[in-house]
């Protein structure tokens, strides 16, 4: 997808760079290349298809690859499908949340994949369409659903959650220091009239923000981030998604994850660490098959985009990349 939890917008709230610019594209392709350039046809799952920027580059660079593109947003699947139509049957779309990768693969009759790519965050298309309700810089409905078929919207949360629950999501998902203050202000305001649009919510936040803190950036940035994460269950989905993908990667296969926020990156780091370190008790003289690592890290820490890329594409400023390779014990031989 490619705009992170705190992805930059221009003063009008629209993405500040062209929609088609994938983040860390060449780095991602290079990391996946050894797994996809084998002496046989290979398969990669793009867990966050979005508008298909990474997918198009993968299909173009690796002519023997079949790509399974997963997205919860039907509009993204339709637009990506049009973009990737020249690749024919090498592109296989799937309408699903990305923690359902095992079910998607089972439905397609795919036992294991050679590569997996996650580009987390909200997509440019979703930010740019007013009726999707992701923007805090324009007056739009409080929607924020990545899949419009889901029942819960940001408006539901704002108008129905108790103050302590609102404060919790603002504090945890938005890392908002005024979480309690904002939650109380919202509850007071909605007692008079329901909060229906983004402008009404921003007005409430503005009024509740001390003058000394109004210079720290748009008051809605962290609150809207928190609402979006809650609406789409993003972090709990990610907690399941990375392990589920790792389970279906073949020996020699690789995973690349691009995250844009410390909360996302922490989950990814933890999931990869669980597979790349020994689980043997300290001091055990011999490593057993049951305790040996099944993956090895391909990156030191979480590399950032180079300054030149950030200058070309400001969306890359907050990206963190982690990658790993399966070295033993895929599910077919476990």
Q: Residues 103-157: pLDDT tens digits?
A: 999 999 999 999 999 999 766 555 555 555 566 667 789 999 988 888 899 999 9
**Alpha carbons 139 and 131: distance in angstroms, whole number:** 10
Supply the pTM of this predicted model.
0.87
Q: Provide the token pair at 309.
A: 């890329």
Quick one: 147 exposed, middle or buried, by C-beta within 10 A (0-12, 13-18, 19+)?
middle
Query: Hunting for tokens 């797994």 — which residue is that?
Result: 35
- Residue 165, pLDDT > 80, answer yes
- Residue 263, pLDDT > 70, answer yes
Neighbour count for residue 163 (Cβ, 10 Å):
15
Half-sphere exposure of 313 (CA within 13 A, CB side): 20
pLDDT, position 312:
87
pLDDT, position 188:
98
Instruction: Give 46's strand partners.
Output: 69, 117
Helix, strand, coil proportions of the chain in percent (round to 5)? 45, 15, 40
Is 225 a known ligand-binding residue?
Answer: no
pLDDT, position 222:
92
Please report, rounded to a whole number, the percentage of residues in the chain having pLDDT higher than 70.
86
- The ranges assigned to domains in the chain are 25-125+234-326, 134-232
pLDDT, position 314:
82
Give me the mean pLDDT over the 249-262 stretch: 96
Q: Which residue has the higher pLDDT, 138 or 207?
A: 207
Reported as a pLDDT band with limits 50, 70 and 90, residue 10 is very low
User: Could you give the maximum distance between any two Cα atoms of the chain, in Å?
Assistant: 69
Q: Which residue has the higher pLDDT, 279 or 181?
A: 181
Type and span of the H or E element at 206: helix 198-208
Is 98 a known ligand-binding residue?
Answer: yes
- In CATH terms, the fold of domain 25-125+234-326 is Rossmann fold (3.40.50)
Contact status, residue 181 vs residue 189, Cβ threshold 8 Å:
no
- Residue 97, pLDDT > 90, answer yes
Is 217 a known ligand-binding residue?
Answer: no
**DSSP letter for each residue of 256-267:** EEEE-SHHHHHH
pLDDT, position 127:
57
Give me the mean pLDDT over the 219-239 stretch: 93
Is 119 a known ligand-binding residue?
Answer: yes
Q: Residue 105: which residues within 8 A CB-CB, separation 6 or more?
A: 45, 68, 111, 112, 113, 248
- Identify the architecture of domain 134-232 in CATH: Orthogonal Bundle (1.10)
> What's the residue count for the chain?
334
Q: Residue 210: which residues within 8 A CB-CB, separation 6 or more?
A: none
Is 53 a known ligand-binding residue?
Answer: yes
Is 265 a known ligand-binding residue?
Answer: no
Is 261 a known ligand-binding residue?
Answer: no
**How do 249-259 and 320-326 pair as beta strands?**
antiparallel
The 10s digit of each residue's pLDDT in 19-63 is 457 889 999 999 999 999 999 999 999 999 999 999 999 999 999
């Amino acid at each position: 997808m490619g705009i992170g939890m705190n992805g930059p917008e221009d003063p009008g709230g629209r993405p500040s760079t062209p929609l088609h610019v994938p983040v860390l594209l060449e780095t991602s392709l290079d990391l996946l290349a050894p797994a996809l350039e084998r002496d046989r046809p290979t398969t990669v799952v793009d867990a966050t298809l979005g508008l298909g920027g990474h997918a198009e580059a993968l299909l173009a660079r690796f002519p023997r690859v079949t790509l399974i593109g997963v997205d919860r947003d039907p509009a993204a699947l339709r637009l990506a499908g049009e973009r990737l139509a020249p690749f024919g049957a090498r592109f296989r779309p799937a309408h699903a949340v990305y923690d359902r990768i095992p079910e998607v693969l089972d439905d397609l009759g795919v036992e294991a994949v050679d590569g997996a790519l996650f580009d987390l965050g909200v997509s440019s298309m979703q930010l740019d369409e007013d009726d999707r309700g992701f923007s805090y810089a324009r007056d739009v409905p409080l929607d924020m659903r990545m899949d419009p078929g889901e029942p819960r919207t940001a408006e539901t949360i704002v108008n129905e959650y108790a103050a302590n629950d609102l404060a919790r999501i603002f504090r945890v998902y938005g890392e908002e220091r005024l979480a309690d203050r904002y939650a109380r202000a919202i509850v007071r305001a909605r007692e008079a009239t329901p909060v229906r649009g983004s402008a009404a919510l921003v007005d409430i936040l503005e009024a509740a923000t001390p003058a000394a803190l109004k210079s720290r950036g748009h008051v809605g940035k962290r609150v809207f981030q928190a609402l979006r994460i809650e609406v789409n269950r993003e972090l709990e989905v990610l907690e399941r998604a990375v392990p589920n993908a790792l389970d279906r990667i073949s020996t020699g296969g690789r995973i690349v994850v691009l995250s844009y926020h410390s909360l996302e990156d922490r989950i990814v780091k933890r999931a990869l660490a669980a597979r790349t370190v020994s689980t043997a008790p300290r001091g055990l003289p011999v490593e057993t098959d049951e305790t040996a690592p099944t993956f090895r890290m391909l990156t030191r820490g979480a590399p950032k985009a180079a300054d030149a890329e950030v200058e070309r594409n400001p969306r890359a400023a907050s990206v963190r990349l982690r990658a790993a390779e399966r070295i033993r014990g895929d599910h077919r031989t476990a």
